[in-house]
Structure 1
Amino acid sequence: MAPPDIAALSASQQEALQTYIAVTDQDPIAAIPLLHRSEWNVQIAIARFFDGEPATDPLAEARASLPTASSRQTANLHQESLQAAGSASSSRRPRQDRVEKIDTAASITTHHHHQPSFLFSILLTPFSLVYRVFSAVFSPLGFLVPGFLSRLLARLLAPSTIRPTRRTLPPADNARRFIREFGEEYGDHSLPFTEAGFNLTLDQAKKELKFLVVVLLSPSHDDNATWVREVLLSSQLREWLTSHKNEVILWGGNVQDSEPYQVSASLQCTKFPFAALICHTTEAGSSGMTVVMRALGSISAPELRAQWKQWRAQSLPAEPPADAPATIRVSIRMPSGDRVVRRLQADTHLEELYAFVECYDLLKEGRQQDETPVSEPDNYDHVYGFHLVSPMPRVVYKLSDGGSVGDRIGKMANLIVEAGDVIGS
């Protein structure tokens, strides 16, 4: 059989081939068939190179298990409708939100590269610049360069900043090193970081049906320390983690380490500091874990709350006139002692009344009309820190019960504002 033609490969296939060769040091002619059997997935090909190929090809078995065209055509309409419904459900959430295990074995292998000394790197700088210029111009003819020469130049001249530079440790040791360094940098804290690797933590959250909070830090980032002190070490977050310790697992990592570096790529992290909330969802399958929230970059909790209040104050519906039909009159005793009367339509959702109380300070000063329109903050779920209560007889109107103002309160009511967390409402 004729050897594979490297020039016939697409740009993505040539890139995959170069990445694979840089890791395995295998001859390109022998590497192409393995990459082809691995559907040009570099991680799968690297794992097969070091661990050996399976006795049977799972991809071929999966194709063989598909029903034939005739059997698909004779499927009844009820089954097709169920399949369509399932397909629509699974497509609601983007595929990049689904969380899978990372290949720690491949990451350990990938980072065992020889790095030249500092002096040697300085001597090679002119050659590196010339190499990059020529490689950009003559990359279509790269297959003519001898394989050993291209691999040697790639190893010596490739920048090391694209890979983690710290010594690779097993996942559990990585987690313990992160916790130890976090304590040394920010002092004593009560954050319940787990000491297990990411894969084991993901399995635990999946098995025990818990939420998984992933925190990825980059010490070289300018906003890293500020974000940790103002957000991660805030009293609100620590109290929330403590009160939900049986429902939430907290995992953290330094992206200078190999495993957190892989996790950042898996979770589509594009900016640091980074946090993600992962949980089990039916959209990702019976055993799937999905990212339901991402927090990218540094923005303080007070800033988010202030932005939300400004946006919510501007979006509140206008108060109906006194003679409008189906109008409800509500008298509210504010925490400051002020008594405010608010008219609402009977079909107005109870959350509108909560939002009015939350934004009353802005409405009282008229700031929501003086400022330019504000957009709703992304990835922010507001938590009301109070309840609306009828004192006589005592009735707590919880947001979690839903409903309109007319259904819950009636035509008229006297309410007071009592402090208390309204989580998820």
Structure 2
Amino acid sequence: MSSPEGLTDAQQALLAQYTAVTNQDAAAATALLRRCQWNVEIAIARFFDGEPAVDPVAEAQAQEAAARAAQREQLRNIANRTSTSSSSSSTAAADLTPAPRIVPQPPAAARRPTGVFTLILLPFSIAWRLTQGVAYLFSTLFPFLPRLLSNFYSPLHRRPGGAATTSSATTRRALSPRDTASRFIREFEEENGVTGLPWFEGGYASALDLAKQELKFLLVVLLSPEHDDTAAYCRETLANPDVVKFVKDRDIVLWGGSVADSEAYQVSTALQCTKFPFAALITHTPQASATAMSVVTRIVGLVPPQTLIQKLTAAIAAHSDALTAVRTRRAAEAADRSIRDEQNRAYEASLARDAERARLRRAEEAARAKAEREEREREAAAEREERRLAAWRRRRAKRVQPEPSAGGETCRIALVMGDGTRLVRRFAVSDSVEDVYGFVDTVGIAADDEDGDDEAVLEGYQHEYGFRLVSNMPRKVYEPEEGSTVGEQFGRSVALIVEPVGEEGDDDEEEEDA
């Protein structure tokens, strides 16, 4: 059977495998294998079971093609939205103004002249202090004069449009940013009778950092105490309940300052403030850069509260999507970090458990090895003691005197051994009690004339008897070190019990006379 032309080597091998099982014509087999995507198992099953009405392979291919088409359409829509948003973002980014981070520098301490200059400037210093004293006296006696002079000179220190000159920025004592904010809030509430606004009690830099870190909107309000619209702006616009509710509901960071303070004046210069009252909405603008904080809207002059809310709402709506995307990305990164941290903690805990198990295993092995070593040492010591005891008994058995014959100066001793057996033997009355101990300890031990290694084995050995000779009634223990003779201790006849060391004599044992 010839194979159809145009098949690869792999396809010809699959065709040969299929035809070997089905014995089908090569052309029909090739067509069926092609319909089955050259899957031999599926083709064999269809040959014997018949082809289904709906081809699952074709159906799966159609579903996959439909899914790919839907995915391409979705990607196309996303690309269109992205291009539209990027074009609008690029247009908006072109209109954005950077909001720099202003950190007020502490005022430089005045350098006081020393030496000869102090003497030269002394008259001027005295005259200046006298002038200050006179001015303070007049301000005390006539308290209305400073206000009249302030109203007279204030128009001379304003720019056209209501912006204050630099002289107004240095009229008050410089404090820390937090103290300056607290003073502004206190004066704002006392002068205008307005409470409830969630002012940020800190410096402008801290408020900017908070808005950047938490992706919030920062509303900066700059006021000039010399401007005619300041009081109306505070009472009618800022104190409006709708404005207060708007700021609180949208969790806007609200920071305010008076340009009479150095920090607020520097902020007004950095934000290009040209007229008071001034409000600027600042937020993070990822379309400008990854770390950019920009002014997204400015509201200048005395405006109605609804106008202020509308402008702020429009600016927030224009940049909320970008902030939401950044929040989503940060949340995903935080989730990834949390998962990695959890995995690291689990891995470290697993390592700790493995290390603890290894430590316990090593400790158990060390304890087991120590116990085995101590057991071997005990066995070796016990074996050594047994060898030394056996050598001592062999040597002591040589010194045991033969039993004297009856009728002489002898003592008949009946011994009850530890295993219950009874043994009767005569000893000379001149024998020592230790000779009786030696006899009992070497019962059944044959004397060995060849010492062999006994001298080396017995070097430094101190023998102690493991039993005591005890009389029953009355109970008396006879020690081998007393140095007395058998006749002195036992007389002509005695019954003794061989009692192991550490055990008391048995009162039930009775003396027996042989």
Q: TM-score range with shorter-chain normalisation? A: 0.3 to 0.5
Higher strand proportion (structure 1 or 2): 1
Larger-gyration structure (1/2): 2
Larger helix share, 1 or 2: 2
TM-score norm. by structure 1 comes to 0.38
